[in-house]
């Protein structure tokens, strides 16, 4: 018996098989059905549903899982190794298209009030492409400060070995000055060099930023999207 189904590889007899081989053929067919049913059953157990978490790819490689189960590498020194994986039955394969989402909140909602319908405060991270997409809501300030960490982490941990410039923001009244946004090592976003009470600060759309090769990222607790 050499014929198999295309998805689960279930074997079945062909017309050219000899009658004398029928017992072996049917036993082989039953075995492959049992293996497929066992694989499906194990996917619904707590062990098969929960992700396998490892700090390094080498550690993840020592773990076994259920076919289709998700695994995560969270703090490998090789940044491209971090991210989501799927267990194939014999190894963990990287999900290169997976993005991780982290969210921000305002450091003080009394001092920095989000304008109505101002949008989300979030950071999207693709560890394989080493690419960030940052979206920030506009806000109105009730304080006068110099460079300040206005946006701070809300969900997940995203830290860097060095600060990274995101780009520019502008004032609502379009004065002849602008603002710089900086993603800091501790995961907050600074706005500067200075803004005052009553100013409305508008980040300029989404910021798409490649991570420099000399910057190390540590990212845990993000949401896969």
Which tens digits make up the pLDDT trace of 164-182?
Answer: 999 999 998 767 789 999 9
- At 169 the pLDDT is 94
- Listed residue (160, 164, 156, 153) closest to 218, CA to CA: 160
* Lookup result for tokens 């206005």: 150
What's the Cα-to-Cα distance from 54 to each of 64, 85, 133, 156, 208, rounded to whole Å? Answer: 12, 11, 25, 16, 28
Task: Judge if pTM exceeds 0.85.
Answer: no
Q: Supply the mean pLDDT for the chain.
A: 83
Q: CA 115 to CA 120: how far, in whole Å?
A: 11
Q: Which domains does the chain have, with CATH numbers?
A: 3-43 (no CATH), 48-94 (no CATH), 100-224 (2.60.40)
- At 43 the pLDDT is 45
CB 203 within 8 A of CB 195: no
26: tokens are 């049917």
Label residues 89-117 b or e (16+ Cβ within 10 Å = b): eeebebbeebbbbbbbebeeeebbebeee
Chunked in runs of 10, what are the mean pLDDT values of the chain (225 residues)? 59 65 66 57 54 90 84 83 82 80 96 90 87 95 97 94 94 83 97 95 91 87 83
175: tokens are 């004065």
* Lookup result for tokens 């409305």: 200
CB 100 within 8 A of CB 217: no
- Listed residue (123, 147, 149, 151) closest to 209, CA to CA: 123
Half-sphere exposure of 201 (CA within 13 A, CB side): 33
């Amino acid at each position: 018996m050499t014929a198999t189904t295309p998805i689960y590889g279930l074997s079945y007899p062909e017309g050219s098989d000899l009658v004398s081989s029928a017992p072996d053929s049917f036993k082989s067919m039953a075995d492959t059905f049992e293996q497929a049913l066992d694989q499906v059953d194990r996917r619904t157990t707590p062990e098969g549903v929960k992700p396998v978490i490892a700090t390094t790819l080498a550690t993840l490689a020592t773990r076994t899982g259920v076919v289709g189960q998700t695994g995560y590498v969270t703090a490998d020194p090789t940044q491209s190794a971090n991210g989501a994986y799927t267990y194939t039955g014999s190894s963990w394969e990287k999900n290169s298209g997976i993005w991780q989402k982290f969210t921000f909140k305002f450091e003080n909602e009394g001092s920095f009030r989000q304008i109505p319908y101002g949008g989300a405060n979030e950071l999207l991270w693709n560890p394989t492409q080493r690419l960030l997409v940052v979206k920030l809501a506009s806000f109105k300030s009730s304080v006068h400060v110099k460079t300040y960490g206005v946006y701070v982490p809300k969900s997940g941990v995203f830290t860097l070995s060095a600060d990274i410039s995101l780009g520019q923001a502008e004032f609502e009244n379009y004065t002849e000055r602008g603002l710089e946004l900086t993603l800091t090592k501790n995961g907050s976003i600074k706005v500067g060099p200075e803004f005052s009470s009553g100013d409305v600060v508008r980040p300029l759309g989404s910021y798409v930023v490649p991570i420099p090769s000399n910057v190390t990222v540590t990212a845990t607790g993000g949401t896969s999207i």
